Amino acid sequence: MSDDLNAVARERVGKGAARATRREGKVPAVIYGDNKSPLTIALPLKETTLAASNAGFMARVININVDGKKHSVIAKDVQRDPVKDRLVHIDFLRVGKGGTLTIQVPVRFINEEESPGIKRGGVLNIVRHDVECIVPADSVPEFLTGDLTGLEVGDGLHISAVNLPEGVVPTITDRDFTIATIAAPAGLKSDDNADGGEEGGEEAAETESSEEE
């Protein structure tokens, strides 16, 4: 999946030029990489803010049209005003055909209704919302899918159980790391503790009785 944004080239660079661009209601940005010279651009604030608010924005290929020329890129750094949460600057990396990228790919979980553990009141505990992967530059996955079918309370979903798209490889290769677990509900934990306490109390009472005898 890709998005299209229109932009204009910026001739001036630097903090002063960036502030001027923002005063005009645009977002300053730069496109770099793929052994080409950096290209400074200005993006429309409204359309860019909408695109950046979508889940997986930094894991999707974006087509930016600059003065009639299309650039396929992926967002590498998004800066926002800490007070107003307004876009301040975006760095884009060119996507070269045949190359690879190292990015964080979001994980989406499916089939919660097919998890016996969740049906019993278990809670989905997401360990990793994103997984860092090496991906084909011209075929960036929008997300990875974690299937919860059959998972009981206490079970974990590991990266080996995720069906990775062709050419996608996690950067962590030395272990079968956990993506999510099915945790016991708080009520079940409390009941278990209460049962343990009662058993402990009975054992203590029996011990005291035998000592008195």
Q: Would residue 200 count as lying in a domain?
A: no
- SS3 for 68? coil
User: Which of 50, 75, 96 is a domain's end point?
Assistant: 96
pLDDT for 2: 53
Q: Is residue 151 included in any domain, yes or no? A: yes
Mark whether 7 and 91 lie in a shared domain.
Answer: yes
What CATH number is given to the structural domain containing 163?
Answer: 2.170.120.20
Q: Are 132 and 178 contained in the same domain?
A: yes
Given 96, 129, 145, which residue is the final one in a domain? 96
The answer to the question of residue 163 being in a domain is: yes
Same domain, yes or no, for 86 and 111?
no
Residue 17 scores a pLDDT above 50: yes
Task: Tell me the residue type at 6.
Answer: N
Q: Which residues pair with 79 in a beta bridge?
A: 89
CA distance 147 to 132: 19
Task: Return all residues near 125 (Cβ < 8 A) that are at least 6 apart.
Answer: 180, 181, 182, 183
How high is the pLDDT of residue 189? Answer: 53
- Residue 201 in domain: no
Distance CA 4, CA 26 (A): 16
Q: Decide: 188 and 121 in contact? Cβ < 8 Å.
A: yes
Same domain, 117 and 76: no
The model's pLDDT over 46-100, given as tens digits with 9 standing for 90+, comes to: 999 999 988 778 878 889 999 889 998 999 899 999 998 899 999 999 887 778 8
pLDDT band at 1; cut points 50, 70, 90: very low
Residue after which a domain boundary falls, among 96, 117, 136: 96
Whether 54 and 86 share a structural domain: yes
Residue 205 belongs to a domain: no
CA 65 to CA 122: how far, in whole Å? 48
Query: Helix, strand, coil: what percent of the chain each, to 5?
Result: 25, 40, 30
Residue 208 pLDDT:
39
69-80 and 169-170 strand pairing: unpaired
Burial of 89 per CB tally in 10 Å (0-12, 13-18, 19+): middle
Residues 14 and 72 in one domain: yes
> Which tokens is 30 given?
């730069």
> Are 53 and 139 members of one domain?
no
Give a yes or no: residue 144 inside a domain.
Answer: yes
Same-domain status, 24 and 58 = yes
Residues 160 and 75 reside in one and the same domain = no
CATH of the domain at 73: 2.40.240.10
Please give the residue range of the domain that contains residue 108.
101-189
pTM over 0.75: no
Looking at the fold, whether 11 and 50 belong to one and the same domain comes out as yes
Question: What pLDDT, in 10s, does the model give residues 116-172?
Answer: 999 999 999 999 999 999 998 878 888 999 999 999 999 999 999 999 999 999 999
Instruction: Assess contact for 137 and 167: CB atoms under 8 A.
Output: no
Residues 91 and 108 in one domain: no
Within a domain: residue 196?
no
| Residues 110, 27 share a domain | no
* Domain count for the chain: 2
| Strand intervals (E) in the chain | 2-9, 26-33, 36-44, 61-66, 69-80, 87-94, 100-110, 123-126, 130-136, 144-147, 156-158, 169-170, 178-183
- Provide the residue count of the chain: 213
